[in-house]
Amino acid sequence: MKIAMIGTGYVGLVSGVCFSDFGHDVICVDKDPGKIERLNRGEVPIYEPGLDVLMAKNVAAGRLSFTGDLAAAVDGADAVFIAVGTPTRRGDGHADLSYVMAAAEEIAAALTGYTVVVTKSTVPVGTNRQVRQVIRKARPEAEFDVASNPEFLREGAAIDDFMRPDRVVVGVSSERAKDVMGEIYRPLFLREFPILYTDLETAEMIKYAANAFLATKITFINEIARLCEKVGADVKEVARGMGLDGRIGNKFLHAGPGYGGSCFPKDTQALARMGQDHAVPMQITETVIKVNDEVKRRMIDKIVDLCGGSVNGKTITVLGVTFKPNTDDMRDAPSLTIVPALIGAGAKVRVVDPQGMREAQHMLPGVNWMDDAYKAAQKSDCVVLLTEWNEFRALDLKKLAKKMTTARMADLRNIYSAKDAKKAGFEGYVSVGR
C-alpha cells in the first residue's frame, strides 16, 4: 500500500514509521520545514524510545521518506492519513479543527485515483463527515472515501502500543474503504489483534469515551487519595486492593499530581463541549476536569506546607517536568501549574529532567536547569519528585538529604515512603494519599 501521513508529530511519525515497518510505502508530510530537514538528516525531532532505530531501518529499506510537499505525497496514495493536532480552541474548550480542515482542503486538491482519507487525529463526532464534505465540495469528481481510525498509542511506549495494540478501531462507510484499511492493518490482523470495524460516528466516539474514562479513573483515585490523607488510610494499598478486582483492573489507579499531557485535558474538554452542544451534559467528565484542576493546585499547597507555610526565598529542586516519563512532551503537564506557582510565591526553582529541557525551557522561564539530581539538591530546601523517570526511582536518599540545607521531600508520585525518608535523614516528607 502507498500511504501518505499528513502531520509528522508524536502520532504521525510513530504511525508512519510503524506502517513502513509493516512493509507499506510511506511518505510523511509536515508543514514545518525544520522538522522535515531534521528527519531527512536522520534525526528524530521528538523523544520516543526505539523510534530512531526503527525509523533508520525503514528509511534505509527505501520504504519511508519525509517531505514538505503534500501534493506529491498524496499523488497516487491508496490512503492519506490526517494526523495533525486538534488542540483546545481558545476560549470555548472545543477541539480546534482548523488544522484538520486545512489538511482536508490541501488533500482534496491533490487527490488522484481512488483514495481513502483517514482521520487519525482525535476529532469530535461528525468531523469525518465534515472532511468528506470539504473534499467533495472542492473536488466533486474525486474518487474517495473517508475513514476514522483514532489512535490509542501512549507516548513513551508508542511503538509497542502501535505494533501490539489492544485493538484497532476503524470507522468506515463503504466496503471499498474497509478493504483498504484491512490491507493496511493486515499484519496486525494476521497476529490476531482485534480490529473493530464500526461506522464513522462510533469510531470517533470510542476515542473520546476511552480517554474520558481513563481520566476519570485517575481522578477517582486522586479524590480517594485526598480522603485517605484525612482518615489515615494508604491510597497505594487501597489502589492495589481495588485493582486486583478483575472488573476494575490496576491500570490508571496511581494517585499523583493530576493528569496532564497532550490528550486527556483537551479530550475531556472537547467531550464536555460536545455534550453541551447536544444538550446531554457530560456531568461526570465536567466534574473530572474540575477535580483534576483542584488536584494540581493541591500539590502546590502540599509543597508550601512542607516548607513551613512559605516558599519565599527557598530553593526548591524539581525532579521531572514532562507530563510523564519517557517523553519530552510538556503539553498540559502538571509542572506548568506547579512550577510557576512556586516561583510566583518567591521560590528559587531548579529543575532536572532527562529529556524535557529542550521543550520545557521556553515554557518554564526563570528556572535553573541542571543535569543531575544530587547536584541540583545541593543547598536546597525541598526536593519535589514530580515525574517518575527511572533515574528518580532509585535515588540514594541518604546522599540526597546530606546535600540539602533542609532535607524535605514532596514525593508526588509515591515512589518512596515516609519511613525510608526518615531513615535517610529527611526531616520532612509528604506524598499523595498516604
Q: Where are the beta strands (DSSP E) in 72-208?
A: 79-82, 115-119, 144-148, 168-172, 195-198
Least distance to ligand NAD, CB of residue 123, Å = 7
Q: Would you say 118 and 149 are in contact if contact means Cβ atoms under 8 Å apart?
A: yes
Q: Which three cell numbers stand for residue 358?
A: 529542550
CA distance 120 to 162: 13
Q: Is 309 exposed, middle or buried (0-12, 13-18, 19+ CB in 10 A)?
A: exposed
Marked catalytic residue, from 18, 228, 263, 307: 263
Cβ proximity to ligand NAD, 155 vs 353, nearer residue: 155
Residue, CB closest to ligand NAD: 9
- d(Cα 188, Cα 143) in Å, to the nearest integer? 27
Q: Which lies closer to ligand NAD via its Cβ, residue 47 or residue 144?
A: 47
Backbone angles phi, psi at 2, to 5 degrees: -105, 125
**Residue 254 annotated as part of some ligand binding site:** yes
Of 35 and 302, which has the nearer Cβ to ligand NAD?
A: 35
For residue 28, indicate whether it is catalytic.
no
Shortest CB 241 distance to ligand NAD, Å: 30
For residue 360, the surrounding DSSP H or E stretch is helix 357-360
Least distance from ligand NAD to the Cβ atom of residue 221, Å: 21
Cα(220)–Cα(148) distance, rounded to whole angstroms? 30
154 annotated to bind ligand: yes
372 is in an annotated binding site: no
Positions touching ligand NAD (CB under 6 A) are: 6-12, 29-32, 35, 70, 83-86, 99, 102-103, 106, 121-122, 151, 153, 155, 262-263
253 labeled part of a ligand binding site: yes
Closest to ligand NAD by CB, 214 vs 343, is: 214
Q: Side-chain half-sphere of 40: how many Cα atoms within 13 Å?
A: 12
Nearer to ligand NAD, 11 or 253 (CB): 11
DSSP assignment letter at 88? B
Residue 152 assigned as binding residue = yes
> Which cell numbers hold the place of 396?
540514594
List beta partners, residue 64.
Answer: 26
Least distance from ligand NAD to the Cβ atom of residue 95, Å: 8
Query: Is there a binding annotation on residue 30?
Result: yes
Shortest distance, CB of residue 425 to ligand NAD, whole angstroms?
39
Detail the residues annotated as belonging to a binding site for NAD(+).
30, 35, 86, 122, 155, 266, 331
By annotation, the residues acting in catalysis are 263
Detail the residues annotated as belonging to a binding site.
30, 35, 86, 122, 152-155, 207, 252-256, 260, 266, 324, 331
